[in-house]
Amino acid sequence: MVLSVLKPVLRYLARLTIRRYRPAIVGVTGSVGKTSAKLAIAAVLGSERFARAAKGNFNGAIGLPLAILGDWSGADLRLISIDTPPGKYPLRKAWFFLKVICTSLWRLAVRRPYPEILVLEYGIDRPGDMKELLNIARPNVGVITAIGETPAHVEFFKGPEEVAREKSKLVESIPSTGYVVLNADDERVIGTRPRIRGQLLTFGFSKDALIQIANFENRSDGARPLGAGFKLQYGGSSVPVRLEGAFGRSNAYASGIAAAVGLIFGMNLVKISSALTAYYRPAPHRMELVPGVKGIWVIDDSYNAGALSMRSALEALQELPGKRKVAILGDMLEIGGYAAAEHEKVGRLAAKAADVLVTVGERGKLIADGARKGGLPRKSVLEFESVEDARSPVQTLVQHGDLVLVKASHGIHLEKIVAEIRAFGEAEQESRI
């Protein structure tokens, strides 16, 4: 009831704020990689301009207006995140929304410093969502990160084609004076090209991409992973990029997107490369490298999971050094009728990448089945119903020198396993001092 009243108020204030301050808007959508792309774009543009990126994954009918209306604190945003139950902290939530409305009205009445560029995520769950978001803010630059064969949130659509059609509405809304940035490696993304009017830039590993990613590697220093390294090539020029603590092709794609947007705003490749190296870091729980118990390293990718991001994460696990490779994987949610086939595919990929597999959740059993079919020995596959069941056995399982990948959809809460491994690791380090 409260949100139904707040939505039109926040939407109206957001539209008025854009009309008052007229920022350039970079809109990012896709099935995977939106947050990483947003952060990479902000790292590049923010090195030269007053740019602000939406925090967290606030990309829907409430989150998008909030991102436009202010740079709210993490504590404020946690109040209305998916991790906070709807009925919890009602007074604090009411105070937060009152603060948002009053601050926004004051900013409309008295001109205050405001970003020159906004970098916003546009997230959809159901048909019609994109139209609602575009009615709040229409971008000058539209980006589609990736969609893939089985996109996230396909559960509420007739199929992947309908998901792609809904997401493509963002780039179709870009006028001829604007710009569109598309993934040249994704058939569903590049398939939107005939329907766009804006000036087109493409990115990817494909030789057809205008901004090409080449010579990619997951770098390491002995047993310690360091980050991704690659080259960005455009218009006959090439620059190296070294990302610290960020792994996998997903972060290279984010950098390619940021390079395209940087070029649109008049930056050159050298400045773009320098900004990525200096300022871009992965968001928490998204291919983030963290130390753990017993001298292990954890690739924490526990925030979310889909078919494309699972594949990218497992490729990184396979390529990086470690005495043993341990994959702790859970359910991929919101993929509807594609769940059985996609979870089994993940299991087969895990069999190639990992020495030991731990699965969590109901659909995790399908990952385990796929891994056994892919050749991973039965004794190397452990299955658990819930994250609580898995926490203690995982502590016993991990060994010195292991490289551990933790990944699942947010609803499985594998971040609890990461937190426990980190807590034990920190306690162990303190005991040695």
Tell me: do 304 and 399 sit in the same domain. yes
Structure confidence at residue 182 (pLDDT): 98
Tell me: do 59 and 135 sit in the same domain. yes
**pLDDT tens-place string over residues 288-326:** 888 887 788 999 999 888 888 999 999 999 999 889 999
Distance between CA atoms of residues 312 and 359, nearest Å:
18
Tell me: do 100 and 214 sit in the same domain. yes
Tell me: do 251 and 297 sit in the same domain. no
109: nearest Cα among 16, 22, 25: 16
Say what percent of the chain tops pLDDT 70: 95
Residue 122 sits in a domain whose CATH number is: 3.40.1190.10
Joined tokens for residue 180: 């569109």
- Those residues with Cβ within 8 angstroms of residue 140's Cβ, 6 or more apart along the chain or in another chain: 24, 25, 26, 174, 177, 178, 179
Structure confidence at residue 24 (pLDDT): 98
CA 229-232-238 angle, 5° bins: 115
Please indicate, yes or no, if residue 433 is contained in any of the structural domains.
no
Q: Could you say which of 235, 256, 279 is where a domain stops?
A: 279
Please indicate, yes or no, if residue 92 is contained in any of the structural domains.
yes
Tell me: do 110 and 237 sit in the same domain. yes
Q: What is the DSSP letter of 194?
A: G
**pLDDT tens-place string over residues 11-44:** 999 999 999 999 999 999 998 899 999 999 999 9
Q: Could you say which of 279, 313, 328 is where a domain stops?
A: 279
CB 258 within 8 A of CB 276: yes
Domain extent for 226: 2-279
Band (423; pLDDT cuts 50, 70, 90): low
Joined tokens for residue 1: 């009831």
Tell me: do 237 and 295 sit in the same domain. no
Q: Could you say which of 245, 279, 313 is where a domain stops?
A: 279
DSSP, residue by residue, 266-329: T--HHHHHHHHHHH--PPTTSSEEEE-GGG-EEEEE-S---HHHHHHHHHHHHHS--SSEEEEE
Distance between CA atoms of residues 268 and 229, nearest Å:
19
- Those residues with Cβ within 8 angstroms of residue 290's Cβ, 6 or more apart along the chain or in another chain: 297, 298, 300, 418, 422
Tell me: do 29 and 67 sit in the same domain. yes
Residue 406 sits in a domain whose CATH number is: 3.90.190.20
Distance between CA atoms of residues 160 and 151, nearest Å:
6
How do 403-407 and 297-301 pair as beta strands?
A: parallel
Q: What is the number of domains present in the chain?
A: 2
**pLDDT tens-place string over residues 139-156:** 999 999 998 876 666 767
Tell me: do 265 and 331 sit in the same domain. no
Please indicate, yes or no, if residue 258 is contained in any of the structural domains.
yes
Tell me: do 244 and 308 sit in the same domain. no
Determine the angle formed by the axes of helices 339-353 and 364-373, rounding to 10 degrees.
50
Distance between CA atoms of residues 189 and 181, nearest Å:
10
